[in-house]
Structure 1
Amino acid sequence: MRLLGAMTRAQSQLIGTVDRQQLFDGLLDALLELGDSEYGFIGETHLNEEGTVYLRTHAITNIAWNEYTRKHFEENAPNGLEFHNLKTLFGHVMTEGKPVVANAPAEDPRRGGLPLGHPELRSFLGLPLHSAGRMIGMVGIANRPDGYDEKLIEDLSPFLQTCANAIFALRADDERNQAVNELSDEQQRLHAILDSAYEAIITIDQSGVIESINQQGEQMFGYSGEELVGANVSTLMPAPYRLEHDSYISNYLDTGDSKVIGQGREVLGLKRNGEEFPVHLTITETKVKDTALFIGMVKDLSERDQADEKLRQLQRQLDKSRFGQMIGKSPPMQNLYRVINDVASGDWTVLIEGETGSGKELVARAIHAASQRSKGPFVAVNSGALTDSLLGSQLFGHRRGAFSGAIKDQLGYFQAAEGGTLFLDEIGDISDEVQISLLRAIESAEVAPIGQVDTQQIDVRIIAATNRNLADTVREGTFRSDLLYRLRVGRIIVPALRERRQDIPLLAEAFLAEMRLATGKAMNPLANPVMHLLENYTWPGNVRELKSAIQFATIHCRNDSISLHDLPPEIQHQEVATLQGASKQSSLEQDIVLALEQTGGNRTAAARLLGMSRATFYRKLKDLGIK
């Protein structure tokens, strides 16, 4: 009876618990009771970079024997203690994958010794945990009064499978970024088990009568447990699922032919208020005293559908907020669009000024697209990337033999842009000699290729751009004032990203959409804490840096939602909230509150979103007084 009672409590821990630590602490308590043991652990096996196995605990008895070990346990146990010494009793379990029974550890040659002060080890049992044909962890218990034997190992077999299923399901959660079509049927089943553990778990008998439902299930469907236990599970199903359900079970029990057992599928659930909502349902079977018990794992897909709708709304919003390839609806961008339309209506030269990465070339392309030259070529030249001699040749062309290496006639950018627009980026970096030639070309609408005396008429609109203050360079004597005045007939100043923070969410989601296509990842929209950090960063690299940051985060993200620790380190470590005069601590408090709101109060998920360990997250909650 004690064995049955402990097993029942262990199963209830697995079915009803969503917190990992609470789950494994409960399993360890059951294990110690089943094994009549003084202390023990449940752990997961991993491989290090050299391929050597080691153990990280999910639950372990606190047997600290001095202040140092007490402090070490309290600081590290919540995240898992690691054990790498394989020349021990439990090390043999990991390397051989077989049980180790040691009823006289002091004389056992496999024993690796104990630290000074360690509690006495009178007997030890180590058992491997297997799932899908491979070892994924182990349990260890110690100091059973009468020692350990094969009968106990046999009795513990169902319990070990429960522990293995829990570890494998949690491991699947860490690998959820893998595409579903690459997963085996077993992995898909484990994903469904884990996902539903954070949502709803319902157990029914072979007649379809509900025997238990966890708190998440009550919240999901809007019933209390008392109302549902004893009712038929079809209460939670709309037609036609309600009508088909009983026939599925009876057909399976009669023939063994399953249409739903072990298979994950999308169906509709029915809430108490009559609302239908999409769910992912996985049904598994277990035996209790030779009687079939079915466990339904239910994940609410409403958030996914809401996320899809949010993406559609975002696309509509982006369509309304675009000007050419530029994105933004803030007042500075609305003003920029008006100026672009103004300068595009004529054919005069334009100087675009703005910081690096602010989108000056996009502005130039927008001017070209809105002008009467839109059907002509748009030729972009990075002036700062070319040497003086090469820049002259590239701009105006050259004749064969004009200089060493000129083996044939070559058209220049001016000729290539005939009838269209020539965009000269980094114009402030060209030499005085090229400035003179460029000024002459603008004034006369003629160019003379290097090595040719006669000039050629050109029909080209000039748009130049710079991230420098050309008025300062004129005063310094490095840029010609007459050229500046010729270029600055039309003048556009592109706002820095920090001057239009209102556009950051639009830009970030647009770049994330591009990365979905580029990587094939089904990324969720950015969570509030992540967006909060992006909106408060100074962005010295402007839009180009934001795009790079989203690309970086998407590549490094290991699941379907970007968290704070996926962002580039310079963004993670910024002094946030200085723009609002708030303290660093209040910003952290705001991020934590936002993370809890985003995850519906799930502290484990909130800690993961913020890139913190669970222990650190709980400590921050306590320090900041957040309930």
Structure 2
Amino acid sequence: MPGTAGCMEAAGRNPMDSGEEPMSKNRRLLEAMTEAQTQWFTHQDPAGIFVGLLQALLSVAESEFGFIGEVLRDPEGNPYLKIHAITNIAWNEETRRFYEENAPRGLEFRNLKTLFGAVMVTGETVISNDPPQDPRRGGLPEGHPPLNSFLGIPIYAGGEMVGMSGIANRPGGYDDELVEFLHPFTTMCGNLIHAFRTRRDRDQARARFEEERVRLKAILDGAVDAIITMDTGGKIESANPSVETILGYTPEELLGRSVTLLMPEPHRDLHESYVTRYLETGQAAVIGIGREVEAARKDGSLVPIDLTVTEVALPDRKLFTGILRDIARRRAAERALKESEERLDLALRAADLGTWDWDVPKGRFLSSPRMTAMLGYEPDEIEPTIGGWEALAHPDDLPGVRDNLQEHFQGDRPLCTAEIRLRDKSGKWRWVHLIGQLVSRTPDGKPLRAVGVQSDISARKKAEADILEALEVVGKGHEDLLSLLNLLRIGTVTLEENGTISFLSEFCERIEGLDRTGATGKIWEEVLPFDPASQEKIRESMKQKEPDRQRLSLYLESPSGRNYALECDVRDDPREPDRRILFLYDVTETEILRTRLAKGQSHLLVGSSPPMIRLYERIERVSGGDWTVMIEGETGAGKELVARAIHATSPRHRGPFLAVNCAGLPESILASQLFGHRRGAFTGASSDQEGYFEAAAGGTIFLDEIG
């Protein structure tokens, strides 16, 4: 055929019989059409039916070769030809192999710049008795049998072109009289193609229905929730296998029984009135609303469930579908969380600590009632923003706090700590100690959320001021000074210029391992048994100028093995600047509480119960590697919080974190959303789209609700 790359056919060559009478030709066509109809009713393959029709067509039209095909359209609406029967005119080994490999499943021709393409484009008959000179020709491949004449006839059904036939090389060429003679034949071919399409569409619809039925059954059978359907009278019509896990009944035990079997009192007796009221008035107690109730198990026990009932309108009746989710574990987790929060609150109140939570990008700063009460305010009297709290801070203290905070955000400090003055409700300045930690970052690594505690250290600051004032003004004698210092609950050590101890207050003896006996005159390193790192901190601090010194965090292990956490201020003796005064504060209890608080949280997760501690340990173990992690749990149990905690502590924490709710993605677009697609990959793909996996490159992607 013109424009084909080797035209192959499923029908063999037919001899031409130019002497055949018109009546004989009519009978030949009628017999072929009758045989085709018989084969259709016996569900024969379309290819076999059209092979017989093509043989008859070539015979009565006295043609050498031809084809019968179905006109289809691609996604862009362009017509193309799918061959159902075609003469085998292979002329060499290559074309014979091509025919054998492709003819059984139907050849497709899409080149419309040919003689048969002109038929599909115009929908009209094409007669060409001099193809080499015809401008509509498409050319022939080398070795193709000569094309002396061509007739292409469109095949219609219901006003739509559904196919076409093409025949070639009739002696003397083709004319309109032959086209008119073949009209009943082409009409029957159109009806056959239409019938085959209808049957094919029906079979495909059945296959899709069966596939959907199997898929739906697999979903129902694999669902964790129990799913029950019932009629308006409450009789159970179906139940999935999960009813046995949650309620103890097998699906077979529930079929045909009343749904009230699963209801405790008083809902069992009221169920019928609930349904009647809903059907008559539309007023729902549960239907379309959802609520937490208790269900009766087979063994008589009650199980808390999250119940959702929906109405299903069928053509001839109504059904109700109930979805029962076991929330016993969630209830237990909620109780454990409440108990953990109560214990944490008790610890904070015992330590007289206020807590705060800062949304860094939005500037929202939430504080506990205890934190505002430290300054004499009610919770709603301070604007819940970082600016509201900065407005209370002493202007001289803010720059240092901001520098400290910036270093912590950059990762240079494990914690942000600061001692600042805040103005209370009466207008006075109060000293507070702030401790904070960044617990989460945005996908691009910027600070997202920080939490911390605040304590009132005004009394301690006053004590420090009293000591300094006493050292400056006391001049009535050494004994008076010793008495004053020993009364204060702060360890005080005075050092001579050469580092020997000249005074050790009585309060120091409360720290096990510090002995005042014979301490005077000894080098301080021999009397103060700090670890080497702590001693080095003290030496470095004594070398600095007083304005540059910061409070030191020191650790001391007593002979009995008890560990002390101490804070130390190194000051110059106001009377003799070359001498040093060490103020020691026992903050062991505060450090213990701080450690307990740190163990009770992991990024966005808060809790200190044994299960939560084990969860934090697992998060720490899995976050060190580059692998896929499966997180299981009920909806709402906090799987995304665990995923964010793993991401934040993993080597990919500076990369993006992307959470994808798979349940919200239709199956038809799931692959393109996850992996992206190129323009033209499918109908409607008008542009390239980046997939979620590509968007999460270098970071973490969390696929939620994949079950």
TM-score range, shorter chain: 0.3 to 0.5
- With CA pairs under 8 Å and 6+ residues apart, which has the higher RCO, 1 or 2? 1
Larger Rg: 2
Q: TM-score, normalised by structure 2?
A: 0.33
Normalized per residue, which structure has more strand?
2
Which one has a larger percent helix, Structure 1 or Structure 2? 1
Q: TM-score, normalised by structure 1?
A: 0.37
